[in-house]
Amino acid sequence: MKLDTTVENACMTVRLSGRLAVDAAPVLEELIDHQLANIKELILDFGGVDYVSSVGLRAILKAQQKMKDLHGSLQLKNVTKPIADLFEMTGLDRILHFERKPRTLSIDGLELIAKGANGECYKIDEETVVKLYFDFVKEASALKEKELAKQAFVAGVPTPISFDVVECGNRRGILYEMIKADTLSKYIEKNVDRLDAVVEMYVTFCKQIHSIVPTTNIFPDAVTLACGYVDACEFFNDRQRAFLKDRLLLTQRQGTLIHWDLHPGNIMMQGDSLCLIDMGDMAVGTPYFDLGQIKQVLHYYAGLGLCYKFTGLGDANAMRVWEKFVASYFDHPDSEALAVIEENIDFYRAIKNVFLYLCNSGGETMRSRRKDFIFQMLPKEFAQLK
């Protein structure tokens, strides 16, 4: 058994290889007893471990207890199938936090089905696709999307089954059930005569998502995330930050699901019903977070001639869809009521744009434009806050 240890900030990664059994356990125990004083996160990389005995299991539990005492965490990474099976058989899967070693995948010869901003979708077989993230997408984001997709499915969201995480060179991917259908964007483009009826379906679908209260706390709270984005955004002054956060904290905590990128390019028309994909930003919060992003894409990007590029829905149709969508979602309000609704939508739209600014979505040109959008979306007095 070999240990290879690296420490970065308060995170120690230990790569283990060989057999974690009676001879090797004391080595791990020595590390636990003497080297963890300032460590908050211990990662044991099990990629090279081919056997674990009961003595080895006890050493892992000891490491877990030690990290608990230090108010830190223990994670096991790259756990191979036989060892994951052992954790399950012994019941330790209920107390250990571990990630399985991703299966390796080659995309040679696979058919490219579609391309998004974060990755590409390849057909594996008649039932399965892989969403392969570009190499700039962090592994943690891929894992997060898979977990959110899985929990959304359990909560009753119509979404494809998510299977394993795979690796392809330095890219990560998720295997999904293949939905043999057009995106809602494509469907609208092909069936413009059905636009009114399709918008009604789209509204009903969004309201369905917006009424689900998940029973797990895996979905982050959108208001908390949003306050974090406001804090991290360097071009706001302190009073502007306080203004935004005060208003965010007034948000009714409904605890219902939001997707946060609920445009027609992320919905698929499966038979007569709709199915949601691209679940990486799911959270709980008010529907206004979703409505803000839907307006951004269907109204604002369409105005810039960019909606087709981002979602596959033509710009003129997108504008029509948005007008009908907002009217239907709010039961056909009069123009005064609609103005109040749109002001609120614009507030949440601005918040999503802060997030997109921070992650540089759309590249440098979009980034410099986005700062101007954000001020335009907020009430006039906001810019004057000094």
Position among 119, 214, 264, 287 found at the interface with ligand ATP (CB under 6 A): 119
C-alpha distances out from residue 242 to 228, 245, 358, 382, 386, Å: 12, 5, 18, 11, 11
Position among 21, 92, 179, 227 found at the interface with ligand ATP (CB under 6 A): 179
C-alpha distances out from residue 34 to 10, 28, 31, 66, 136, Å: 15, 10, 5, 11, 37
311, 316, 320, 321: CA torsion to nearest 10: -10
69's CB contacts (< 8 A; 6+ apart) are: none
Position among 45, 147, 278, 290 found at the interface with Mg ion (CB under 5 A): 278
223's CB contacts (< 8 A; 6+ apart) are: 248, 249, 251, 253, 285
Tell whether residue 197 is a contact of ligand ATP (CB under 6 A). Answer: no
Cα distance between residue 137 and residue 46, in whole Å? 23
Residue 48 or 158 having the CB closest to Mg ion? 158
Closest contact distance (angstroms) between CB of 267 and Mg ion is 10
Residue 70 or 178 having the CB closest to ligand ATP? 178
Binding part of the chain for ligand ATP, among 17-25, 114-122, 202-210, 234-242 by CB under 6 A, reads 114-122
Q: Which does 119 bind (CB under 5 to 8 A by kind): ligand ATP, Mg ion, none?
A: ligand ATP
C-alpha distances out from residue 215 to 151, 219, 264, Å: 9, 10, 27
Tokens of 371: 């700062």
Position among 129, 165, 307, 313 found at the interface with ligand ATP (CB under 6 A): 129
Q: Which does 118 bind (CB under 5 to 8 A by kind): Mg ion, ligand ATP, none?
A: ligand ATP
Closest contact distance (angstroms) between CB of 326 and ligand ATP is 21
Q: Which stretches of the chain bind ligand ATP, using CB under 6 A?
A: 113-114, 116-119, 121, 129, 131, 160, 176-179, 183, 265-266, 277-278
